[in-house]
A and B are shown apart, each in its own frame.
Chain A
């Protein structure tokens, strides 16, 4: 149980285009989902927290207009990288959390974004 999927697993796009990444909890309802960014051989940095039905909470330094997060249902959150540039190339990982399980996050497999 507690499986989280991400789609796509990898994407290559041209500079200036927008890319949408989906994060789904397959067998549970996730009231909270988290989006992380990871550069090669680096730590996971929390970008934002999304709660179903409300606006996402962004970490300091993360541009809200650049990284649009939507958590429209209890099983789906999306991250849209708008007007992507090469410096946005990274590994994006989401995680999901059950209501009442504050300390447990279930991670997706990640999405590799390459912006040319």
Chain B
């Protein structure tokens, strides 16, 4: 399976705390992306990390990638109630796309993050 798997499935924290979500995958990848989805809405792209990168930052977000362990983590620092959403990782594997459309996204099941005020 190309899909990523997020862990934990649900996370509940207080405002101001940090939230860490993990994603594991089974195949080689070209890049891994994190998305946020508010309830009943579309996806918002958060960050993309390439297979030759180990860490990326964007505002309060920090993403790490360990290709030897086939895992990635998303850290949200100083969380806010507005961060409440589902977070998904998605992998891209050009090799798996051979004969098909390049750059297809394979999503995990997501982590439901709840941040209490």
Mark A residues whose CB is within 8 Å of B: 4, 6, 32, 34, 41-46, 49, 51, 57, 91, 93, 95, 97, 102-110, 112
Contacts and interface: CB of A to CB of B under 8 A. Distances in A.
A103 B31 contact: yes
A46 B3 CA distance: 11
6 contacts: A41-B109, A43-B108, A49-B100, A103-B33, A105-B45, A105-B103
A82 B3 CA distance: 28
B102 interface: yes
B40 A91 contact: yes
B48 interface: yes
Q: Report, as a range, how many residues of chain B touch the other chain.
A: 20 to 34
A6 B40 CA distance: 13
A44 B41 contact: no
A43 B101 contact: no
B24 interface: no
A57 to B, nearest CB: 6
Nearest to B104: A46
Contacts of B25: none
Given A93-B43, A104-B45, A110-B41, A43 B88 contact: yes
A93 B42 contact: yes
B72 to A, nearest CB: 15
Interface string B49-93: 000000000000000000000000000000000000000100010
Contact of A105 (B40, B88, B100, B105): B105
A93 B43 CA distance: 9
Contact of B112 (A41, A91, A105): A41
B40 A110 contact: yes
A46 B107 CA distance: 9
Given A43-B107, A43-B108, A103-B48, A51 B3 contact: no
A5 to B, nearest CB: 10
B95 interface: no
Contacts of A43: 3, 88, 107-110
